[in-house]
């Protein structure tokens, strides 16, 4: 259920120029409009499961895209059952100016992307449901300019080739291997989203070593029985998953309307210190390891007046902010 | 389409203890939560037509009522096609803890209520669509205490009977008729909602003499062709309807995302001075005629901090405000 301060579930991942939306609760399009992002022309939406609070924002958002005359296709991914859901939703959103492609993913299937793999895993919510992991491939090691100089590699395309991992033959037939001038490969980043789930071994495995685990914490320990019945997690249970998975940072979401937030944070931090309970419009920035730690930026996508309601009539569809994190 | 400042269509009529919701765009439940009203346990929702921006808030709101364990039935009214719509919507909102009754109303049908009639009329939006009029019955005239005294009517139940329009026989067999002690009947109030429509003669007729006409003004005159194509009205056209119907006050709604509001107001006011373009959370108060004129109360249901996001976790379902207008 929404509250005055919290909209139903939706999480946007920005990576370079890519924008991936995970879940799309009622009102998500307006949350975009209230942010500095504007309503992004998303090309991919990933659903974790088919409880209404996770997809009710989709029909209206697709309608709005259509009213804007969009032609760019959109792909919606989700666990088995996605096609059935859309058989109903299509009756609501009707004809659109663009095509909607549906891709059902079985738990364990993954999508190979440019620079990363999008993994899926089974979670325990009593319905067809997925967790998602965005796992970046290792990046090439740091280029050692001094060694390249001493080996006689001239500045220019040869150094580019070596950086891409290709050997280079110099004018005097000397072959330089990439390993000679590159440091050890540098780790990519790893982000894991649990979706709605009871505490699950599969989430621990999927989250192992993640820079950030976004885990649901619908309840606190006072409602542990209800959490069990409804196949949700308590804050303490989510913290135990983070701990067992040795993640760097834990972000708790899907907090029940009965909690304000701080009590959820307190409960989790007793077990796992680096926990955040982000509010709507907060950002978590995930730098590459050598550039710093994951950090919460409060109100990161709120307009400067803090109102969440900029003066401009919205719906222009272009984002003024293209900050990569 | 929503904007950062405007949620899709929904209008709440409060009359004494009654709460009637007209249309229920995406995000309506959260707009309630952001207001001082909280999420009212509505028992009646009236749809004007079945474009998605007018009903997409219903499935989520019904789900929320159900999560709160509601048992009170709800009735949804709308033009022909309502049953078909719910055949699709039921697949989304599934089983609820309460029953949903559907009532299709043909244009011209009316509902007799305690103290008023809820009239419907055909509008011109190119689809099955209704306008609604809430027309109060005349109230008894003012009770003339001096005359009652001089006729020997004792204080007590006899005066109550006369006020209700019943003749009274005094101890000396003298019959006092209500007309002897009551002034002329006093007019009830009249509120008319156009829903989405091109300018229409039927709306002029339905609105005749209304205290308030809430009319759509999707466009300004610069988009008159588009207004015609899409069967919407311009601000000037809505003003002409108000003028022709001799209403007291005009409120313009359903303003396109391309407009801020003031330009819509300016265009209408050139033809009809007593026009308002209410913002989300504004109230229009309609007093009985002898008590004053209709008036706009800006931010009338916003919490005092003006944020539209009170501190309390919402979802308690009880409204703290029971102000009748």
The answer on pLDDT for A292 being more than 70 is yes
Q: How confident is the model at residue A308 (pLDDT cuts 50, 70, 90)?
A: low
A312–B contact, CB cutoff 8 A: yes
Q: What is the largest CA-CA distance in chain A?
A: 74
Q: In what order do the strands lie in the sheet with B116-122?
A: B110-113, B116-122, B130-136, B190-193, B212-216, B249-253, B275-276
Report which of A201, A300, A292, A203 is spatially closest to residue A250, judged by C-alpha positions: A203
The answer to whether the Cβ–Cβ distance between B60 and A67 falls below 8 Å is no
Q: Please give the share of chain A, as a percent, with pLDDT higher than 90.
A: 90
pLDDT of residue A312 exceeding 80, the answer is no
> Does the CB of B18 have a partner CB in chain A at under 8 Å?
no
**What residues form DSSP beta bridges with B247?**
none
> Would you call A257 and B315 a contact, using CB atoms and an 8 Å cutoff?
yes
Are A39 and A57 in contact by the 8 Å Cβ rule? The answer is no
Task: Kindly report, residue by residue over B57-83, the tens digit of the pLDDT.
Answer: 999 999 999 999 999 999 999 999 999
- Confidence label for A305 from pLDDT (cuts 50, 70 and 90): confident
pTM, two decimals, is 0.88
Query: Is the per-residue pLDDT at B313 higher than 90?
Result: no
A contact test, residue of B30, B299, B320 with most A CBs within 10 A: B30
Find, among A275, A268, A325, the residue nearest to A301 by Cα: A325
3-state secondary structure B202-218: HHHHHHCCCCEEEEECC
Binning pLDDT at 50, 70 and 90, where does residue A187 land? very high
Half-sphere exposure of A48 toward its Cβ, with a 13 Å CA cutoff? Answer: 31
Number of residues in chain B: 325
CB atoms within 10 A of CB B94: 13
The minimum CA-CA distance between B279 and chain A, rounded to whole Å, is: 12
- pLDDT higher than threshold 80 for residue B307: no
| Least-confidence region, from B93-97, B238-242, B304-308, B313-317 | B313-317
Name the token pair of B227.
């207004």
A109/A118 Cα distance (integer angstroms): 9
Measured between beta carbons, the chain B residues lying within 8 angstroms of A26 are: 26-27, 29-30, 56-57, 60
Mean pLDDT of A150-162: 93
Mean pLDDT for all residues in chain A: 93
Considering only CB atoms, which chain B residues are within 8 Å of A5? 309
- Summarize pLDDT for B273-286 with one digit per residue, the tens: 999 999 999 999 99
Q: Work out the average pLDDT over A97-113.
A: 98
Please list, in sequence order, all residues whose beta carbon lies within 8 angstroms of the beta carbon of residue A115, skipping any fewer than 6 positions away. A136, A137, A188
B4, B34, B314 member nearest A314 (Cβ): B4
Q: Which of B53, B144, B280, B282 is catalytic?
A: B53
Å between B312 CA and nearest CA of chain A: 8
Q: Which of A23, A41, A53, A84 is catalytic?
A: A53
The residue-averaged pLDDT of A232-246 equals 98
A69 touches B: beta carbon within 8 Å: no
Looking at CA atoms only, how far is residue B280 from chain A in angstroms?
12
Query: Are the Cβ atoms of B52 and A60 closer than 8 angstroms?
Result: yes
Mean pLDDT for the stretch of residues A282-304: 95
In order of A77, A147, B100, the CA distances from B63 in angstroms are 24, 65, 12
The model's confidence at residue A165, banded by pLDDT at 50, 70 and 90, is: confident
Give pLDDT tens digits for B205-223: 999 999 999 999 999 999 9
Q: Give the separation between CA A276 and CA A268, rounded to whole angstroms.
A: 9
- Considering only CB atoms, A257 lies closest to which of B34, B92, B314, namely B314
Q: What is the pLDDT of residues B143-186, one digit of tens each?
A: 999 999 999 999 999 999 998 889 999 988 999 999 999 999 99
User: pLDDT-based confidence at B195, cuts 50/70/90?
Assistant: very high
Chain A hits for B309, Cβ within 8 Å: 4-5
CB contact under 8 A, A259 and B313: yes
Q: Shortest CA distance to A104 belongs to which of A125, A72, A129, A126?
A: A129
With CA atoms as reference, the chain A residue closest to B54 would be: A60
The distance of B118 to chain A (nearest Cα, Å) reads 28
Any chain B CB within 8 A of the CB of A2?
A: yes
Q: Are residues B308 and A7, on separate chains, in Cβ contact within 8 Å?
A: no
Q: Is the pLDDT of residue B293 over 90?
A: yes
Q: Is the pLDDT of residue A109 over 90?
A: yes
A314 touches chain B (CB under 8 A): yes
Find, among A284, A317, A194, A282, the residue nearest to A245 by Cα.
A194
* Confidence (pLDDT) at A306: 61
Interface contacts A/B by beta carbons within 8 Å: 113
Are B53 and A30 a contacting pair at CB < 8 A? Answer: no
Indicate the residue of B4, B67, B89 with minimum beta-carbon distance to A33. Answer: B4
pLDDT of residue B309: 54
Looking at CA atoms only, how far is residue B3 from chain A in angstroms?
Answer: 5
Of the CATH numbers 1.10.357.140, 3.60.15.10, 3.30.420.40, 3.30.70.100, which one belongs to the domain with range A10-139+186-297?
3.60.15.10
User: Average pLDDT, stretch A75-91?
Assistant: 97
Average pLDDT, chain B: 93
Look-up of token digits 């309503």: A39
Q: Cα separation of A303 and B3, whole Å?
A: 14
- The reported pLDDT for the residue numbered B235 is 98
**Helix/strand/coil for B157:** helix
What is chain A's percent helix, strand, coil content, to nearest 5? 25, 25, 50
Whether chain B has a CB inside 8 Å of the CB on A117: the answer is no
The answer on pLDDT for A172 being more than 90 is no
Q: Is the pLDDT reported for residue A299 higher than 50?
A: yes
pLDDT classification of A309: cutoffs 50, 70, 90: low
Confidence of residue A307 (pLDDT cuts 50, 70, 90): low
How do beta strands A212-216 and A249-253 pair?
A: parallel
Of B4, B52, B64, the CB nearest to A309: B4
* Separation between Cα atoms, residue B1 and residue A63, nearest integer Å: 8
Using the predicted structure, report yes or no on whether residue A286 has a pLDDT greater than 80: yes
> What is chain A's Cα-based Rg?
22
Cite the residue boundaries of each domain of chain A with CATH code 3.60.15.10: 10-139+186-297
Q: Does B161 touch chain A (CB under 8 A)?
A: no
Task: Report the pLDDT value the prediction gives residue A323, as an integer from 0 to 100.
Answer: 32
Tell whether A67 is within 8 A of chain B (Cβ).
Answer: yes
The predicted pLDDT at position B34 comes to: 96
In A, which residues are within 8 Å of B94 by CB distance? 52
Considering chain A, what percentage of its residues have pLDDT values greater than 70?
Answer: 94
Separation CA A235–CA A214 (nearest Å): 12
Q: Nearest C-alpha of chain A: how many angstroms from B178?
A: 51
- For residue B149, indicate whether it is catalytic: no
Task: Please indicate whether residue B311 or residue A154 has the higher confidence score (pLDDT).
Answer: A154
């Amino acid at each position: 259920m929404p509250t005055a301060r919290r909209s139903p579930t939706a999480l946007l991942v920005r990576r370079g120029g890519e924008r991936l939306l995970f879940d799309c609760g009622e009102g998500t399009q307006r949350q975009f409009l209230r942010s500095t992002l504007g309503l992004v022309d998303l090309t991919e939406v990933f659903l974790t499961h088919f409880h209404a609070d996770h997809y009710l924002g989709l029909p209206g958002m697709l309608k709005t895209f259509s009213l804007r005359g969009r032609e760019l296709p959109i792909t919606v991914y989700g666990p088995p059952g996605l096609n059935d859901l859309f058989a109903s939703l299509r009756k609501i959103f009707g004809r659109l100016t663009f095509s909607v492609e549906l891709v059902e993913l079985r738990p364990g299937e993954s999508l190979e992307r440019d620079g990363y793999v999008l993994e899926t895993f089974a979670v325990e919510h009593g319905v067809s449901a997925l967790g998602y992991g965005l796992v970046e491939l290792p990046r090439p090691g740091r280029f050692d300019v001094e060694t390249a100089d001493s080996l006689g590699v001239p500045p220019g395309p040869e150094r580019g080739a070596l950086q891409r991992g290709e050997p280079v033959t110099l004018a005097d037939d000397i072959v330089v291997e990439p390993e000679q001038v590159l440091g050890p490969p540098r780790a990519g980043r790893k982000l894991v989203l649990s979706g709605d789930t009871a505490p699950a071994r599969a989430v621990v495995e999927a989250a192992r070593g993640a820079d950030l685990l976004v885990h649901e914490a619908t309840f606190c320990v006072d409602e542990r029985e209800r959490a069990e019945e409804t196949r949700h997690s308590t804050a303490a249970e989510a913290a135990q998953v983070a701990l067992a998975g040795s993640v760097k940072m834990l972000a708790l979401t899907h907090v029940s309307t009965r909690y304000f937030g701080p009590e959820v944070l307190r409960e989790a931090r007793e077990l796992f210190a680096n926990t955040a309970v982000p509010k709507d419009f907060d950002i978590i920035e995930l730098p590459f390891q050598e550039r710093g730690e994951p950090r919460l930026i409060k109100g990161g996508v709120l307009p400067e007046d803090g109102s969440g309601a900029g003066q401009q009539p919205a719906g222009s569809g272009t984002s003024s902010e293209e900050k990569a994190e």
